[in-house]
Structure 1
Amino acid sequence: MEKMQHKQNLTNEIFRKLIHLSSIWVPLSLFFIPIGFMQAVFFTLALSLTLFDSLRISKKPVGQKIRKFLNIIKLNFIYREHEINNLSGATYMMISAALCSFIFDAEIFIISFSILIISDTLAAIVGKSIGKRPIYNKTLEGSITFFISALIISEVLYVFMLQKIGYSLTILVIASAVTTLVELYSKKFKMDDNLSIPISFGLILLIYKYFMHYN
């Protein structure tokens, strides 16, 4: 019975992460569409999802109807336990996209959100499926996967985007390591990692860019 429950939990997690992975359109959009236009898109989606979640968790009749409908169409499982009475990860992601699009330039936004979507997905799947060594509420295997994938993503994008504006590979290693720790301890500090991951990685690059410019 316990083995079956673990298998079901893993299946649910993989499905959630596939939905998470589909959000790759967020950073990819900035390759083709001006960031000014996408700021409006991200802000509108963030506002809409925040409103929906506020209604979903409401104790009023409208909230009960939404929860009942989600249960009928078998989509209630996409919400983790801590999201049942709070904003969902999807809502936090769009809030994060709206916020980061105003703080960072397009290059930093693309790399930070690519790491959020790809590295976080890989880390969760590896941690849930083969993770054996727990660290806080995650696993060593998942954290290693996050770090390695973040480093690969950042260095690939470095070749295509960042090299021409003066970033070094060393700062990408540092940013990947720091963001891995941020992802690991986000829950401890009651932060949603859809916010903490792109903001932490992006801020390191932004600070580095600032000091390189003025030195």
Structure 2
Amino acid sequence: MPLTSENETSQSFQSSPKKTSIIDDTYDEDADPDYTLGHDAIITEEDDGSGISSLSELSEGEEISDDDTSTYSEDDQKLVDHKGIFGTGSRMASQSSLDMIVRTHDRFRTFIHEQEIPRKLLHVVIGFVTLYLYTLGYQSKDVVKQIGIAGVFVYSLDLLRLNWKLFNKAYCFVVGFLMRENEVKSVNGVIWYILGCMITLLYATKDVSIMSILLLSWCDTAASTVGRRFGYLTPKIARGKSLAGSFGAFVMGIFACYFFYGYLAPQYPQFNKEFLWTAQSSYLSLNALALLSGFIAALSEGIDIFELDDNLTIPALSGIFLDATIKLASK
């Protein structure tokens, strides 16, 4: 577009209405989150007759070249540069803030991915769901049936996605945040989880089954979390296993036993008739059983049997060890 002449520009200055001066000590820009200067705003000098120059915008439709500095003084230029009136300082600050936010989000996403936060949350929630079903009076055979149906459904999806690349891509897009990289082209870990829970529910008593699922749900999560954080400080005891992780499983196993046998079960005595362990029927005290549960959790988590999935081996081994030990200590 053509530049306006100097006379036209001067006339526009005289005819334009007086704008509120930006140099207003009573106005706090920082206190006004909605304060912005128009993208096309051009600041000029206007004399109000009092000898004090103020800054105002050119009226809409008027233009001035980027290198035309005849309309404002050197002092105003310094003020413009200092205040960032042309947006340079503001844009730089905004870009810096944006970069910082992006870096923070990237680090957060990396942390979530490395620590498998969604997967661990699912593990932990399953333990609480198990306890909730117990408080409602569900029997093992009822839960096995429902879990079996879920297992058939998940396995069918796996067969479909592993033989249909397009469906696998869509499947991973939806639930990929719960999967590990090696599960993209192999069996989903959920299937092993379901199978492990079904095994212990089928052969063990109600209390042993619940404890086995808790050791899988909570202790495996604790072992993974502690192992990833402190595993480099301790010796490795198996493939992908560290002493630090086993210690995390040990502590959580003790907590799970106290929480279930010591706190929750006494509140629902009507559902405890099938329990294998009771304080009256066993030589094992609650404290001894808690320590035993911790050792079993650490052992089951640390053992690597033919590189089978932990979701299968932990509940199965935990159920076997707990069942055998409690029976040996029964009166």
On whether the aligned pair clears a TM of 0.5, the verdict is yes
Query: Which has the higher mean CA deviation after the structures are superposed, 125-134 or 136-145?
Result: 125-134
How far 1:171 sits from its partner (Å)? 4.9
How far apart, CA to CA, are the structure 2 residues paired with 1:177 and 1:209?
14
Instruction: Indicate the larger mover: 170-179 or 34-43.
Output: 170-179
Shift of 1:211: 3.4
**1:86 counterpart SS class:** coil
Aligned twin of 2:125: 22
Offset of residue 110 of structure 1: 0.9
2:278 aligns with one of 163, 166, 175: 163
Q: Does the 8 Å CA contact 2:196/2:314 hold for their aligned counterparts?
A: no
Q: Which residue of 2 aligns with 1:197?
A: 314
- Deviation digits for residues 5-57 of structure 1 (CA, Å, limit 9, x no counterpart): 99755412122211222222134323322222112111111121122122222
Instruction: Choose the corresponding residue for 1:113, options 210, 213, 230.
Output: 213
CA distance in 2, matches of 1:7, 1:142: 23
Gap regions ≥5 residues in structure 1: none
Deviation at 1:116?
0.8
| Structure 1 residues 11 and 105, CA gap change in structure 2 (3 angstroms) | same
1:152 maps to what in 2? 255
**Which residue does 2:142 correspond to in 1?**
37
Q: Provide the rounded CA distance (Å) in 2 between the counterparts of 1:140 and 1:118.
A: 17
Equivalent residues, number: 205
Q: TM-score, normalised by structure 1?
A: 0.81
Letter of the aligned partner of 2:180 in structure 1?
R
Where 1:53 maps in the other structure, the secondary structure is helix
1:54 aligns with 2:154: no
Higher helix share goes to which structure? 1
Are residue 177 (structure 1) and residue 177 (structure 2) matched? Answer: no
CA offsets, 1:154-184, max 9 Å, x none?
A: 2332325443442624354344324313312
Instruction: Return 5+ residue gaps in structure 2 as ranges.
Output: 1-104, 266-276
CA distance in 1, matches of 2:324, 2:297: 15
After superposition, where does 1:136-151 map in structure 2 within 5 Å? Answer: 136=238, 137-151=240-254
* Map of 1:125 onto structure 2: 225
> Aligned residues: percent identity?
21
Q: Is the contact made by 1:175 and 1:204 (CA closer than 8 Å) also made in structure 2?
A: no
| 2:190 is equivalent to residue 90 of structure 1 | yes
Q: What amino acid maps onto 2:196 in structure 1?
A: S
Say whether the 8 Å CA contact 2:254–2:290 is kept in structure 1. yes
Kept in 1: contact 2:123–2:221 (CA 8 A):
yes
- Give the aligned residue type for 2:168: R
Where 1:166 maps in the other structure, the secondary structure is coil
Aligned partners of 2:189 and 2:309 also within 8 Å: yes
Give the letter for the 2:170 counterpart.
F
- CA separation of 1:167 and 1:11: change in aligned 2, threshold 3 A: farther
Judging changes above 3 Å, is the alpha-carbon distance between structure 1 residues 167 and 150 closer, same or farther for their aligned structure 2 residues? farther
> Cα distance 1:64–1:108, how it changes in 2: closer, same or farther (>3 A)?
same
